[in-house]
Structure 1
Amino acid sequence: MKCTPQKAITTLCMVLGLALPGRLAHAADDQLPPAWLADLEPIKDEFRVRPERPRLYINRDDLPVIRSRAATSHQEAWQSVNSISDFSRLKDAWYDVHSVYSGTNGNAAVRSNRLTDRILAHAFQYLITNEPSHAREAIDAALELSADTKGDDLANAYRVWPESVAFDWCHAHLRPGEGQKLLENVRKQLKIVDAEVPLEKSALHMGHLVNHLADAFLPAGIAFYDEAPEIFERAIKVACSEIVAKNVFYRSGLSSQGDSYGLTHYHGDIRMLAMLKKATGVDLFQRFPFYRDVGYYWVYTRRPDGQFLRLGDEWMDSQNVPVWDPPAPWGPPWLMEALAYAAGAYGDAHLAYEYLKVRNLNHTWVAITDILWRDPDVEPRSPEDLPPVRYLDGAAGTLLFRTGWGPDDVVGLFKAMPLYVKNHDHLDRLSFQIYCRGALAIDSGIYEGVDSGYGSPHWLNYLQRTIAHNSLLIRDPGEEVLYRGRKVVADGGQRFPGVGNDPVSLADLRDPLWHIARVLSHGEDQELGRYAFVSADATAGYGPKAEKVERSFVFLNGSRSGANPENVVPKATIVIRDRVVARNPGHQIVWLFHSLEEPAIEGVKFTIKNSGANYGGVLLSHSLLPRQARIDKVGGPGKEFWVNDTNYGTSKSGTCEAGAWRLEITPQEADRAVDFLHVFQVYPRPPAKAPVPLSVEGRGVVGAELLDRTVIFSTAGDGARSLQYVSVGTGQREHLVIGLPAGKMANVSAGGRNTGQFSTGPSGSLTFRIDQQGRTEFQIAVE
């Protein structure tokens, strides 16, 4: 790289993807199959269950350590276990029927939870104290629980693992016939679990397989290995493929199933790693270090009000927890335990901090997990020293961004996600969410509300579909959409691959049918978090009606110079450029935006507010392209979930943010090829005055002129060799140019003077700073 300063121009070159620290960028991976699939061969079976007990979740070598912790560093957790063991004996003890232990509701859940607490608390007390009376309490409760086969597959799976714990931890105190009786009852429960879908026929990425393995077959297989080795052998064979399939996404730092079901999947999978390490000595934590990274998804997507950005089918929003004063963080037991495992396995200080923030030792297994896995030598560290942007590569193709970690900061994401594996994932490629003092750009719809559960009309025709997300539509009047043989609404969005059937096997993941998007390039300033961008193509997801559907999403963190008054400078600026080409000029191309409150429209501008108590955030949008765009408002009472003249109405209590409004932006004149260019300015409270973004035009470019930045998108494709544009800004400005050929050198001139030579890096992008004296013509020549 070479920079050549000129007399009237001061430049600072910043090259993405080269040696400067914190600047990373990458271009699209066009390999077939994609590199992010990695090795899809099942894990080699090297798992041999140790003969000595205990071996489920803990082994003999751990006993001195946990006994010491219970007496010293973890006394609070130990006292909680003791209190719970006493409480669980009460005949009329109150229990949350929706707790992690129950797979059912009502009295059956209360009974299961009471017995589960008795088993776990007393079995653990026995390990710590060697007091036989605790072993007897645990065994008696396990025998009582194992006689219960009521309920569905999950209700029975959730009974098997505590029964297995009692059998393994208290084995020395089983009376003649009790072990055989427990095994006999567990086999009956496993039969019910298996009746849902047999392990070997279950889809690896979805459904209840992770529960069947982590809660039933694997713990039973480990505990009863001496008596019934076939349970473990069957479970481990399936687990060796299931883990590999899940790793396609975990390697990138998230689960395909969203924030709620992604959590239950991650929780189950990381528990399996913990069980296998203790029972067989095979350390998959070390082999797969990215299980630590997955935990960071919930660090980055936690909003200042304690909630998470919604993604996929959402059940966490049913929690009736207060927000603010101080924030009450969402933290179900699955999250507590998953964070505890990850923080302990990797000695991670940030995950330890997040775990302690949500830890609730009134949950028996959380208290036990705390003693087993929380390392007292790891000093928890707040996330404030983490980079504000985090790009999740590979199959995830997702950008997580923040302006910081305070109550006024922006939190958001952009999702490209090339691989679609269905179930709780949505047809939401190229969508975004933005939060600042309240949800502003939202993920709309309701899961498990009034008549809106899995497979309901609301779920099939709205919640799962592109129209419910901040993405793009191509409306084809003649389109028909099928889901497993039944006709569903044609919303104009992305289509169900395989007409609603599931990708089941590892081989299915290789099939391009399920590859519905691809990331073209991405870049981010990891060191300071000043900017990040992703360009992605979701054409494949739209089927035959689309010739091209591309979106470039640019996040800019505040003002680069910081020289402007606070009430003028946006907390964040988002620039979105879309290029959509339909196959037929009769197809309508639509740009979507969803909000909780009714938008205010003024010409080609719209304003989104969140006026809820303690919120007050504002998003100001300018539609720079197409010229004189048409902005239509859809929503309000009776039209909250409106698709093709039908409202798929539903409701839900708790902290649900279903949305009630959407904007549909279209060109005034119908065209099969449409360019959109939008600028969002995000504030924690209404500004006294906001800067007005301007459109930038030139040869082979579109772009936006902002407060002290200029963002340029090449429209000439990878073959672009010469670009020209005019910027009218003054003072110190930063220019970001994306969409250039990757791995080339580019000469930049400003006002006819050579500014310098820059590498476009692997992403095909460059940035430079310049002391700009008003209207200046820029030329970029790629060698």
Structure 2
Amino acid sequence: MRGARKLPADPVGLCLFCMSHICYINAKNPHVRKDRMPHPLPSRQILLATLILLHPPIGAAASPPPVVPAPAPRIANGAWASVLLERPRLLGPRAHLQALAREKADAYKALRGQDNLLAAGIVHAVEGLPAGAIAPHVASAMKDVARGVTNIHQDTWIWLENVALCLDLFHDAISETDRRAMIDWINPHLETFTDDENAFHNSTLSKILCYLRIAYATWGENPKAKAFRDHAIVKLYEGRVLPVLRELGAGGGFTECGWYTRGSLWHLVQALELARRIEGYDGFSRAPRFFYQRLAYELHQPYPGRWLYGCERYPCEGDGSYVYGGHVEYPRHTRTLLAQYFRGSELARAVAARQRRASNPAAALVDFLLEEPPDAPSGLDAVPLAHLASGIGRMYARSDWTDDATWIRFECGDFWNNHQHYEVGNFEIFRRDLLAAESGEYIDYGGSHAINWLIRTVAHNCILVHQPDESSWKQMRDGGRTPPANDGGQAKRFDWVAPTLEAWKAKRDSYERGDIVAYVNDPAFCYVAGDCTMAYARSKLSLWIRQIVFLRPSTIVIFDRVVATKPEYAKTWLLHMRNEPAVEGTTTSIRNGKGVLTAVTLLPEQAAIRKVEGYGYGGQSYAPERKTGLSEEAIRWRIEVQPPALRAEDLFLHVLSTADAPPTITLSRKGSAVGASVGEAEILFAGQVGGTLTAGGKTVPLKSEIRTGPYE
């Protein structure tokens, strides 16, 4: 992402937050939101007018840079150093586990009934297990040893980790011959297992945890134990991952896609916490801003409300699935450990307000091992209602912190790894249920559904520009096995992913896709703009700027200025949804569960709007090849908005509302500016990134500036 000057949020805007938040949620009836009353008060207009009267100009004097608090963990650095002289090691000293069993008696009783390696290891440490209960776990480890030395993406570190855990947890019950066989099998992987070491990829973080577990599990009886430790910390963490966290981790963002980051970052946090407790190596302190601000990121990332079994629900953000699974618990574990590291901080207290019970037995086991009594919760009123991870070009915003909030995500960043999609400019909208999202489902990595639909621009809420003879998709992530189709979307301009930050920077232009060029968050509205031009082939697109104004609590105004290199390159504006929408004139109505989204097309005037079911374009379907197809959660419908005539430059203007009764919406024009009147507010767009927001007779300029808050 190209650099942009960032100014922290102004103090007046921050001071107004609590007052305005209470104003529109609690006035008269503290249990009913204004936009859901039969005769709603003009709370949004009151908010906007108040904001504009008191708010200093955008670009006013900057507040101090974000402050990262000092760490204050209860378990000190190196507190478990003596564990290397006893067994077990990887889950903590035996005395520590026995104390947990007494303090968390109910949780311990529950995990005693689980039939898995970690649960058995805990029980063996606390009270001992008979040989018959240990034998299946040793047999599983020896089966992995029998595979021989491998270099297989993901599978290799999973097998290695299984053996290392078994060796440590049941060390006294494993014969010396088998222990030697395990170590003799593990050690050659230092030279052979060269996969999973990309600086931007999920499996590198998992490999760090795996190698640290090997090092500590075999310490004292393996001459290569320290080499595994150094490979994990010096080569992979300090040499590859840490530079990425420092350069691109503002706001707590990581370069992997969202779904994969949730699991792999949890592995990294576990690894660093283990190293901190055992050897006193504090990897968090090497990138304190990233890890502290990740707490704010984790507060914003999930959709509002609770889902199955009381858990949070998350967007895919690249390869992933909307189906419930263990992955929904990883962010909670991550924020728990980070909050305990930054104990007493503002964000640790905010995270405590989101504490909940585990949604499955595996997560409950992790809670037993790692969850400490949290800080006294402070509530979430002090946490801004939007969050920008500027290094990766991702923004979240929400109307409030209730379960009924409207939530949006906007994506406009560069390319780092193959789990990302061609989705620069994409947005998502959620209220009560998923209303606008990316389409398809990650059921394979290199099949036709993945290569020609799932990862492509056509499956996202973006813009298509169709150049009939375009050939921008040779050698996709499957190595060219699947013939690529022309979806009219974003181009692949790089040869392959870069292994390190230095290699990525050396070819930065080829990975450049988009930049967030404006961002401001205030109590009544959030404004963000992205320059998406570089994501497309230069042969067909000269400019695409997307501007989004989120008028809290329920209105999203999206303005797109798109300039093609030739008038005959047809443009299409996309919006994806789960269920069949209703299209009447310029209004599209979308329902999913208890959620409703109304989308009004103001520009182009006389636009053609059509609804499409399925995963096809150009007369070809790219539905999944598996007989089972996609899950019920998969997004299946879309609308396509096209101008009435072909021309080089087109303006797309849409107003979307999650309100049960949307406001009155009309097109506005003033000189060269164009925009929308939404109730008593008016939003005008002028130039490439400029515009104004007006309410109560006062106007706020919308500028090409980025104003970050305290956790960004």
TM-score, normalisation: structure 2: 0.77
> In 2 relative to 1, CA 458–170 (structure 1 residues): closer, same or farther, beyond 3 Å?
closer
1:209 deviates by 3.1
1:662 deviates by 1.8
Could you report, residue by residue, the CA deviation over 1:527-572 in whole angstroms, capped at 9, with x for unpaired residues?
Answer: x3x21111110111102121111111111113xxxxxxxxxxxxx1
1:213 deviates by 3.3
CA distance in 2, matches of 1:656, 1:345: 39
Aligned to 1:33: none
SS of the counterpart of 1:71? helix
Letter in 1 for 2:668: V
Moved more, 255-264 or 419-428: 255-264
CA distance in 1, matches of 2:411, 2:602: 23
SS of the counterpart of 2:653? strand
> In 2 relative to 1, CA 397–155 (structure 1 residues): closer, same or farther, beyond 3 Å?
closer
- Does structure 1 residue 458 correspond to structure 2 residue 432? no
1:336 deviates by 4.9
CA distance in 2, matches of 1:519, 1:557: 21
Aligned to 1:770: none
Aligned to 2:439: 444
1:674 deviates by 1.2
CA distance in 2, matches of 1:402, 1:553: 13
> In 2 relative to 1, CA 123–436 (structure 1 residues): closer, same or farther, beyond 3 Å?
closer
Letter in 1 for 2:617: V
- Does structure 1 residue 646 correspond to structure 2 residue 677? no
> In 2 relative to 1, CA 694–660 (structure 1 residues): closer, same or farther, beyond 3 Å?
same
Could you report, residue by residue, the CA deviation over 1:197-239 in whole angstroms, capped at 9, with x for unpaired residues?
Answer: 614x742212633333323x23112322431233333333233
Letter in 2 for 1:183: I
- Does structure 1 residue 274 correspond to structure 2 residue 273? yes
Match of 1:601 among 580, 583, 587: 583
CA distance in 2, matches of 1:716, 1:353: 41
Aligned to 1:621: 599
Aligned to 1:283: 282
**Equivalent pair of 2:533/2:544 in contact (CA under 8 Å):** yes
Letter in 1 for 2:450: W
Q: Give ranges in structure 1 of 5+ residues lacking alignment.
A: 4-8, 26-47, 89-116, 321-329, 559-571, 743-760, 764-783
Aligned to 2:703: 739
Q: Give ranges in structure 2 of 5+ residues lacking alignment.
A: 1-9, 13-48, 67-80
Could you report, residue by residue, the CA deviation over 1:738-763 in whole angstroms, capped at 9, with x for unpaired residues?
Answer: 136x6xxxxxxxxxxxxxxxxxx969
**Equivalent pair of 1:427/1:494 in contact (CA under 8 Å):** yes
- Does structure 1 residue 589 correspond to structure 2 residue 590? no
1:292 deviates by 4.4
**Equivalent pair of 1:608/1:618 in contact (CA under 8 Å):** yes
- Does structure 1 residue 681 correspond to structure 2 residue 657? yes
SS of the counterpart of 1:482? coil
SS of the counterpart of 1:590? strand
Aligned to 2:471: 480
Within-5 A mapping of 1:395-544: 395-416=391-412, 418-448=413-443, 453-484=444-475, 486=480, 487-499=483-495, 501-510=496-505, 511-525=508-522, 528=523, 530-544=524-538
**Equivalent pair of 2:90/2:217 in contact (CA under 8 Å):** no
Within-5 A mapping of 1:365-404: 366-367=363-364, 369-379=366-376, 384-385=380-381, 387=383, 389-404=385-400
**Equivalent pair of 2:693/2:701 in contact (CA under 8 Å):** no
Aligned to 1:575: 557
1:649 deviates by 1.3
**Equivalent pair of 1:57/1:278 in contact (CA under 8 Å):** no
**Equivalent pair of 1:531/1:555 in contact (CA under 8 Å):** yes
Aligned to 1:244: 242
SS of the counterpart of 2:536? helix
1:293 deviates by 3.5
Match of 1:12 among 37, 40, 53: 53
> Kindly, what percent of the aligned residue pairs are identical?
21
CA distance in 2, matches of 1:244, 1:55: 29
1:590 deviates by 1.7
1:367 deviates by 4.7
Aligned to 2:228: 231
SS of the counterpart of 1:445? coil
Could you report, residue by residue, the CA deviation over 1:396-453 in whole angstroms, capped at 9, with x for unpaired residues?
Answer: 222212223444331221111x2211321111111111122322212111211xxxx1
Letter in 2 for 1:480: S
Match of 2:675 among 703, 720, 725: 703
**Equivalent pair of 1:205/1:246 in contact (CA under 8 Å):** yes
1:298 deviates by 4.7
- Does structure 1 residue 82 correspond to structure 2 residue 112? yes
Aligned to 1:752: none
SS of the counterpart of 1:481? coil
CA distance in 2, matches of 1:717, 1:554: 12
SS of the counterpart of 2:254? coil
Within-5 A mapping of 1:172-211: 176-187=176-187, 190=189, 198-199=194-195, 202-206=197-201, 208-211=203-206
> In 2 relative to 1, CA 66–712 (structure 1 residues): closer, same or farther, beyond 3 Å?
farther
1:518 deviates by 1.0
Letter in 1 for 2:516: V
- Does structure 1 residue 71 correspond to structure 2 residue 70? no
Aligned to 1:671: 647
SS of the counterpart of 1:467? helix
SS of the counterpart of 1:12? helix
1:160 deviates by 3.0
**Equivalent pair of 1:343/1:374 in contact (CA under 8 Å):** no
**Equivalent pair of 1:315/1:447 in contact (CA under 8 Å):** yes
1:142 deviates by 5.1
> In 2 relative to 1, CA 271–249 (structure 1 residues): closer, same or farther, beyond 3 Å?
farther
Match of 1:557 among 552, 558, 566: 552
Within-5 A mapping of 1:136-175: 140=135, 143-149=138-144, 154-168=154-168
SS of the counterpart of 2:212? helix
CA distance in 1, matches of 2:208, 2:64: 41
CA distance in 2, matches of 1:64, 1:278: 15
CA distance in 1, matches of 2:313, 2:53: 38
CA distance in 1, matches of 2:123, 2:186: 23
Aligned to 1:565: none
CA distance in 1, matches of 2:306, 2:425: 26
CA distance in 2, matches of 1:22, 1:439: 36
- Does structure 1 residue 256 correspond to structure 2 residue 255? yes
**Equivalent pair of 1:317/1:654 in contact (CA under 8 Å):** no
> In 2 relative to 1, CA 292–733 (structure 1 residues): closer, same or farther, beyond 3 Å?
same
> In 2 relative to 1, CA 163–762 (structure 1 residues): closer, same or farther, beyond 3 Å?
closer
TM-score, normalisation: structure 1: 0.71
SS of the counterpart of 1:414? strand
Letter in 2 for 1:626: P
CA distance in 1, matches of 2:374, 2:473: 55
SS of the counterpart of 2:598? strand
CA distance in 2, matches of 1:319, 1:427: 25
> In 2 relative to 1, CA 588–376 (structure 1 residues): closer, same or farther, beyond 3 Å?
same
CA distance in 1, matches of 2:264, 2:652: 37
1:21 deviates by 11
CA distance in 1, matches of 2:357, 2:440: 29
> In 2 relative to 1, CA 304–523 (structure 1 residues): closer, same or farther, beyond 3 Å?
same
CA distance in 1, matches of 2:513, 2:670: 32
Match of 1:310 among 302, 315, 326: 315
> In 2 relative to 1, CA 735–66 (structure 1 residues): closer, same or farther, beyond 3 Å?
farther
SS of the counterpart of 1:260? helix
CA distance in 2, matches of 1:24, 1:627: 45
**Equivalent pair of 2:421/2:456 in contact (CA under 8 Å):** yes
Aligned to 1:40: none
Could you report, residue by residue, the CA deviation over 1:265-310 in whole angstroms, capped at 9, with x for unpaired residues?
Answer: 2122212212221232111223333324435545422343526343
